[in-house]
Structure 1
């Protein structure tokens, strides 16, 4: 893909325009990231509502019908559904299964299990099983 940047410090505002053969998830996420200012998600922790920065999130997972967001040391509750979170996340997040989304920049290593399953071990030592349908996406994202 050809990329070109034109720098003009006389511009009143910045803009970007893309000419694509077809829209892919990668370009959709890039568009959301470029146009949005959002870098946090609002979550509940005890009796407080606090912002959690996307860069600090390791895992987003549904457990017992609750959407939980994990950072390095603790978990937060998110009021919405997993698909709602997915729509606002930047490109460094990857769907691991129907119930989990991981930040691939927080992956420590992968473990290949019996039967060809893959578990992701996050840098905070959380273990996430990748569904068979998502293994290809994980390998592509990691360049494997």
Structure 2
């Protein structure tokens, strides 16, 4: 597929046009990501410094609801945000998927999976953190991973 990029003036509205033969699930994912990408970051409080920072979506490994707060984990630091998890789940790009009642992960940071003796699925992330995938969410995780593995990853 040929890709054309045209740099425009800052005052003009950004837009995207696809000339395609068929709308596939991959194209739908790209469109959804583009529609959500007006802001490609979250603003959150640093847990180590007393200041707010912009965290690009591409740096977020996972988000966890804990003690009435949402913690955002990156390779560099941990951040805190006060927003309902369901709202973040809706606003984040399609490479983020809920894996339990309290955790949303960025699938680009999954290194591997292991099956625990009790049958639970464990995701091992690039930062060596281990998070449990609830049985309820295994099916949607499989679908998402299958969709991304059949198509090139776009970021």
Q: State the TM bucket, normalised to the shorter chain.
A: 0.7 to 0.9
Partner of 2:143: 140
Q: How many residues align?
A: 133
Helix, strand or coil at the partner of 1:60:
strand
- In 1, Cα distance between equivalents of 2:39 and 2:145: 25
Alpha-carbon offset, residue 37 of structure 1: 2.2
Return the TM-score normalized by structure 2.
0.73
**Using a 3 Å threshold, how does the CA distance of structure 1 residues 6 and 51 change in structure 2: closer, same or farther?**
closer
Return the TM-score normalized by structure 1.
0.78
**Cα deviation code 1:71-129 (max 9, x no counterpart):** 01421001211112112111111111110000011001101012321010100011110
More strand by share: 1
Query: More deviation in 53-62 or 29-38?
Result: 29-38
**Using a 3 Å threshold, how does the CA distance of structure 1 residues 56 and 117 change in structure 2: closer, same or farther?**
same
Partner of 1:65: 68
RMSD over aligned CA atoms reads: 2.8
- In 2, Cα distance between equivalents of 1:135 and 1:78: 26
User: Gaps (5+ residues) in structure 1?
Assistant: none
